[in-house]
């Protein structure tokens, strides 16, 4: 497993490098944002550990660039500030997990193992519908290249609609596929979630077919999916 460690503090980098190497990873180290971006772009890493406070180019920008270029490598961000707003901006940029400094090395290793397990799972082809893209491997979706922020339920809803795009899907069908047994199946719930997804991807992408259900379609002018 190859890991890219992006961290500017020399002592911390040395330690983490040793710990990661001991855990069986092949470690590359980048001390600043520019080098990190270059390495991440050119080498096929399995996972990336990214410190947010970096010289030259900050971590969030580096991450944003990778995601814009279509890199789906799982990224764990390290924040020193511990403020939730930093974590949120990291996630908006496309992070998969966070750790607040200072942390225990074992914690980092455990998180990396979880990330790798996740990304190694069901590798399915990317789904597309007009400007809408959904990558089941990274569990990420985007509209016209802009990453979408979806909760897991919203993601599942969109995933289901995309797998059956162009077909009318009834509310009952959605409820059955989205919720497990003991979930509170209140019929309004689906409407709430469809409303939220609409707000995030653009209302006109999900059509309401009166009395029947919902249908996901590409916008007029967008190339229809093959």
Partner 1 sequence: MTPRPFRDVGRYFGRPGRSLTRRLVWLASAWIVLALLLTGAVLTSQFQESGLRRLGGVLNTTIDNLIVATTATENTVVTPQILDQRTLNEFSGKYWVVGEPRDDGSLRVLTRSTSLWDADMPAPDSLIERLEAGFGDSISYNAVGPVGEPLRIAATMKRLPGRSTPVVFIAAIDRSNIDADTRQFAAFTWAALGLLGAGLVLAVFIQVRIGLRPLYDLRTEIADVRKGRATRIERAYPIEIAPLAEQMNKLLAHNQETVERQRTHVGNLAHALKNPLSVLLAEAGERSDPLSDVVRRQSEAMRSQVEHHLRRARAAARAGISGERTPVGEVIDEMAVMLERVFQSKGVEIDWRAPDELAFRGERQDLQELLGNLMENACKWSKGRVRVSAGATGLGQMVVVVEDDGPGLPEDQREAALARGARMDEATPGTGLGLSIVEELTRAYQGRFSLAASEMGGLKAVLELPSAEL
Which residues make up the interface to partner 1 (CB under 8 A)?
9, 11-12, 15-16, 19, 53, 80-85, 87-88, 91-92, 96-98, 101-105, 114, 117-118, 139, 149-153, 192, 196
Q: Which is nearer to partner 1, 35 or 97 (CB)?
A: 97
Residues 54, 8 contacting (CB under 8 angstroms): yes
Which single residue is written with the structure tokens 């009395």?
Answer: 211
Residue 106 beta carbon to partner 1: minimum distance, rounded to whole angstroms = 8
For residue 123 the two structure tokens come to: 């590798």
**Counting Cβ atoms within 10 Å, is residue 215 exposed (0-12), middle (13-18) or buried (19+)?**
middle
Q: What's the CA gap between 152 and 132, in Å, rounded?
A: 17
Q: Which is nearer to partner 1, 68 or 200 (CB)?
A: 200
Residue 128 beta carbon to partner 1: minimum distance, rounded to whole angstroms = 22
Residue 98 beta carbon to partner 1: minimum distance, rounded to whole angstroms = 7
* 50: CB partners within 8 A, 6+ apart: 6, 36, 59, 62, 63, 75, 76, 77, 78, 95
Q: Which is nearer to partner 1, 42 or 182 (CB)?
A: 182
Residue 81 beta carbon to partner 1: minimum distance, rounded to whole angstroms = 5
Residue 100 beta carbon to partner 1: minimum distance, rounded to whole angstroms = 8
For residue 175 the two structure tokens come to: 């409820």
Total Cβ atoms within 10 A of residue 115: 20
Residue 7 beta carbon to partner 1: minimum distance, rounded to whole angstroms = 9
* 24: CB partners within 8 A, 6+ apart: 1
DSSP state of 219: P
Q: What's the CA gap between 146 and 15, in Å, rounded?
A: 36
């Amino acid at each position: 497993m190859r890991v890219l460690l992006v961290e500017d503090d020399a002592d911390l980098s040395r330690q983490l490098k040793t710990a990661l190497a001991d855990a069986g990873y092949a470690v590359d180290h980048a001390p600043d944002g520019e080098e990190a971006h270059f390495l991440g772009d050119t080498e096929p890493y399995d996972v990336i550990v990214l410190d947010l406070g970096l010289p030259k180019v900050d971590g969030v920008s580096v991450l944003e660039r990778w995601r814009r270029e279509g890199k789906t490598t799982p990224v764990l961000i390290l924040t020193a500030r511990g403020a939730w707003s930093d974590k949120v901006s990291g996630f908006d940029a496309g992070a998969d997990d966070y750790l607040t400094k200072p942390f225990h090395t074992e914690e980092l290793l455990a998180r990396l193992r979880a990330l790798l397990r996740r990304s190694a799972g069901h590798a399915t082809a990317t789904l597309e519908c007009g400007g809408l893209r959904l990558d089941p491997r990274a569990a990420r979706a985007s509209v016209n290249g802009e990453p979408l922020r979806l909760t897991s339920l919203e993601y599942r809803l969109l995933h289901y609609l995309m797998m059956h795009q162009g077909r009318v899907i009834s509310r009952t069908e959605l409820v059955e596929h989205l919720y497990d047994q003991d979930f509170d199946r209140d019929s309004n719930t689906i409407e709430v979630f469809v409303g939220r997804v609409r707000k995030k991807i653009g209302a006109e992408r999900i059509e309401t077919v009166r009395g029947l259900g919902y249908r996901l379609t590409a916008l007029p002018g967008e190339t229809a999916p093959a």
